[in-house]
Structure 1
Amino acid sequence: MLGTGLILSGPPFIHVPLLDRLAPAREAGFSGISLMPGDIWSLEREGMTAAEIRSRITDQGLSLEEVDCTACWLPSHRSAGDDIPMASLLRSLTPERVIETAARIGAPSVTAVEMMGIAPSLDEAAEAFAYLCDLAAPHGLKVHIEFLPFGGIPDLASAWAIVQAAARPNGGLTVDSWHFFRSGSSFDLLAAIPGAYIHTVQINDAPAQPGEDLMQETMTGRLLPGEGSFDLPRFIRTLDATGCTAPVSVEIFSSGIASRPMAEAIRHWPGAAHAVIQKARNGK
């Protein structure tokens, strides 16, 4: 069964300094957070150590659940052109740098994404993912691919094929409800994947009709769980049935977030997520 505590996903709050996110997350009812490599690097440049950053998180009663993400882990990523959106940032998120950072701060896992629009062969992706997992293993880190419908690893089937081909015990998946539904991924496949391979779960919602630009929609148009069209109860029940015990993150990118105080923006997120989870487990 999925974890009972809720994690606040860091990427929607890239505009808020990490230390300023902690009290609002705790006060809203989150038990943990994910963060980005840049959150750590920024504070280290200001003179804080990774141990001090970790202590500030735990002093707020929060757990650190993942570092999101490494985005330059395929060989072809390193030679991607500057015409790709956020190319400079994405190329800075190399396996070596991100894994070392996650180990330094004591995170349990690292997400791997493909956001440069590069569709790798299965052999290329499996070899690169195996290297990433091997780099992480001595630090006790898990690594999980998050598939993105607008990226080169667009759906659950593609990501699962890479994890299987890499065959690393610390390799697995992130399953985000927005990406799952917008990619048209299969519930039958989700039900067939052993839960131990699903390392993190993210929930959110969206309107029934997809936007014309999926990248724009995912970054600006997500809704609270229960406010959109996704069959989240079935999503939760399916994951529970696999034996998945992964933590559940709430990740909502919305165009209005940056203009509101963070505490106000996230106030209702845990309640909405818990309501959907409870509805799923009540069989509704």
Structure 2
Amino acid sequence: MTGQNAPELTFWPGSMASRGFIAVLDAAKSGGFPATALSPLTLHELLVSGHDRQWIRAEAEARDVRPAQLDGAASWAPIPYADDLPAPIKQRFDFTSTEVLDLAEAACMDSVLACGAFAAGTVPLDELVTAFAAFCRMAEDRGLRVELEFVPFWGIRDLATAWEIVRRADRPNGTLLLDTWHLLRASDEPQAALALLPDIPKGRVTGLQLADASLSSHSDTLFGEGRFRRFPGDGELGLDTVIRPLLDKGGLLTVGAEVFGEAIDVLSTEEAGIRGAETTRTALARASQ
């Protein structure tokens, strides 16, 4: 899909982020992605190891890749994360709202991906609306968009709740990001989410992560099931049911595959970037027909 209104292809590293900053940039370059997402932890570790923001930007510019999205922020919520989260995930989210925005600004990013990593039912909806609006105001001062993502095994479990937070917060820079795996594979009621999509106004869903999967189970837990995500088109989820209405509505700014587990871990850095780009473009083209 090409054209003035086509969303920008963004590389989401998934589990290959563990290979480090340079590998993420190299993968994005190999796939021809103009933009990439990076975690706060990746940027923080670069800065504390002696690299400055000029070096970060120079390495990205040398590969014609723009760090565009900070993945992700949890400290905006009254409870940043649940006590029983694995230590590596806690470490990834262990940054204050100000630190998150400082990191995004240092890398000249466009947006911050926010999620609710607290346990379901532990924060009232009214408090989430107030907190999200406050975080959006902080981000707006930096020229940053905030995209809220629902994650079924954490505190904001469905699209309806995420949209209610964004709608009631009513901030011009507060929008939604959808993940096809979360919506079609991990949700309790995917049909309810699909039915809601047409009611969300244009420009309020600005980000889309693509991942496919088998409909059969590979893990005893939903969180563990996330390690079996596949590239778009390699599974049974019917991604067109999400992609097509978003493309038809318009306002989608970014799209890219996000894959965890063996499907990407067995690939070289170059192969991961190429595979991510090819399958994303194919999925967009198919949904545009």
Q: Same fold (TM over 0.5)?
A: yes
Distance apart, 1:250 and its partner CA: 1.1
- Unaligned runs of 5+ residues in structure 1 are none
Q: What runs of 5+ residues in structure 2 fail to find an aligned partner?
A: none
TM-score (norm 1): 0.91
SS at 1:72 equivalent: coil
Deviations 1:73-112 (A, max 9, x none): 221237x53x432364155132111011111221010011
CA distance in 2, matches of 1:259, 1:210: 21
- Asked if 1:274 is matched to 2:281, the reply is yes
Is contact 1:205–1:226 with CA below 8 Å preserved after alignment? yes
Deviation at 1:48, TM superposition (A): 1.6
In structure 1, the residue matched to 2:223 is: 215
Q: How far apart are the structure 2 equivalents of 1:268 and 1:258? A: 12
243-252 vs 169-178, which moves further:
243-252
**Distance across 1 between alignment mates of 2:288 and 2:105:** 35
Aligned counterparts of 1:170 and 1:104: Cα–Cα separation in 2: 19
Count of paired positions: 279
Correspondence for 2:80 among 77, 80, 93: 77
- 2:119 corresponds to which residue? 117
- Deviation beyond 4 Å, 4+ runs, structure 1: none
Give the aligned partner of residue 189 of structure 1.
196
Give the Cα–Cα distance (whole angstroms) in 1 for the partners of residues 92 and 31 of structure 2: 31
Q: Name the residue aligned to 2:146.
A: 143
Task: Return the offset for 1:259.
Answer: 5.1
Q: Specify the alignment match of 2:49 in structure 1.
A: 46
User: Secondary structure at the residue paired with 1:195?
Assistant: coil
Would you say the 8 A contact 1:29–1:270 is kept in 2? yes
Report the residue type matching 1:215 in the other structure. Answer: F
Q: 1:174: how far off?
A: 0.8
Q: Compute the TM-score of the two structures, normalised by the length of structure 2.
A: 0.89
Judged with a 3 Å threshold, the aligned counterparts in structure 2 of structure 1 residues 259 and 228 are, in CA distance, closer, same or farther, namely closer
Cα gap change, 1:273 to 1:256, in 2 (>3 Å): closer
Question: SS state of the match for residue 225, structure 1?
Answer: coil
Q: Aligned letter for 1:217? A: E
Aligned residue in 1 for 2:272: 265
Match of 1:229 in 2: 236
Shift of 1:194: 1.6
Distance apart, 1:66 and its partner CA: 0.5
- The yes-or-no answer on 1:198 pairing with 2:205 is yes
Whole-angstrom CA distance in 2 between matches of 1:49 and 1:210: 44
Change (3 A) 1:116 1:259: farther
1:65 to partner: Cα distance: 2.0
> Residue 57 of structure 1 aligns with which residue?
60
Q: Does 1:27 align with 2:30?
A: yes
